[in-house]
Amino acid sequence: MLTGALFLVAVLLTWPVPRLLPRLTVLEHVPGPALLLWQAISLSAIFASVCLAPLAILQFVRDGRQIPAPAANVPLLVVGLAIAGLVIARLLLQGHRVGRNLRAARREHAELVDLLGDPSDEASYAAVTVLAHPTPTAYCIPGRRRRVVLTDSTIHALPGDELAGVLAHERAHLRLRHDLVLEFFTVLHTAVPQAIRSDRGMQEVRLLIELLADRAACRAVGRVAVARALVQLAGGSHPDATLGAAGAPAARRMQLLADDRSHRGLFVVVLTVAGLVVVGTGVIAWGALLGVG
């Protein structure tokens, strides 16, 4: 019974939940806990998928609640572990591919920026490289050679407080390692079959990451300056392997910037749900292992 429940958990967390969760736009008011909820759902789906085959075979061969000796069921044990191993191997392989491609793209782009850009010599623009371009644009390059990149038109178009907000936004991406969070979700997204991928889920994760950086910028310069900067940068773009201030819908981000409520109750509820997802999945798997139910 619990093995069937674990199968149901794996299916729900892999397919319908990532499609339905983005519809709960109220979660965007608490981007930190919302992102933890997405991580909890993803990790629980992986855990359930990995455990499912061994536990299903265990349920098939066991007598009552007694765990049979592995030596007495070697062929079935090998089958169960092989299936679980294939799931893990798929994730590891995709993680290697995604990580390798991202790091290569960032390295190449950093070299190009070093070649074409000018490091700023002003203290307030430390660790910033300026590129000549007519479109106001700002983004950061994560990794070992991390830096913030601005176009010269960004510096000319934005007053001091708005520019400081943009820099705070990009440095928050680098400081909080949002690139690793996005890479984690990219690996999971591309590891599952195309038919059950949720592109809307990936878009929501990207939005939540940008909202976290927006909040860091608001703490530095205030909501008004950040909102004005978003308007100025709305027409910009950035390379795929980087994170940019215009990386998610500006209109929705400005709506959320206008909301200055604390949402403490929602904060607690979302964190509690995230914890319940992880603990609940673990309890079901442990119960299936012990033969409960």
Q: Residue 251 domain-assigned?
A: yes
In the numeric block, which tokens belong to residue 158? 């934005």
In a domain, 155, yes or no: yes
214 with 151: CB under 8 angstroms? no
Give the count of domains, the chain: 1
Residues 70, 77 contacting (CB under 8 angstroms): yes
Find tokens 């909202």 and name the residue.
211
- Residue 84 belongs to some domain of the structure: no
Question: What's the Rg (C-alpha) of the chain?
Answer: 23
pTM of the model: 0.93
147 close to 128: Cβ distance less than 8 angstroms: yes
In a domain, 107, yes or no: no
Residue 150 belongs to a domain: yes
238 within some domain: yes
Q: What is the pLDDT of residues 194-240, one digit of tens each?
A: 888 999 999 999 999 999 999 999 999 999 999 999 999 988 888 98
204: left (phi > 0), else alpha (psi -120 to 50), else beta?
Answer: alpha
pLDDT digits (tens, 9 = 90+) for 146-158: 889 999 999 999 9
**Closest by alpha carbon to 179, among 235, 239, 91?**
239
Q: Which domain holds residue 216?
A: 122-260
Give a yes or no: residue 285 inside a domain: no
Residue 180 inside a domain? The answer is yes
The CA-CA-CA angle for residues 82, 87, 92, to 5°, reads 115
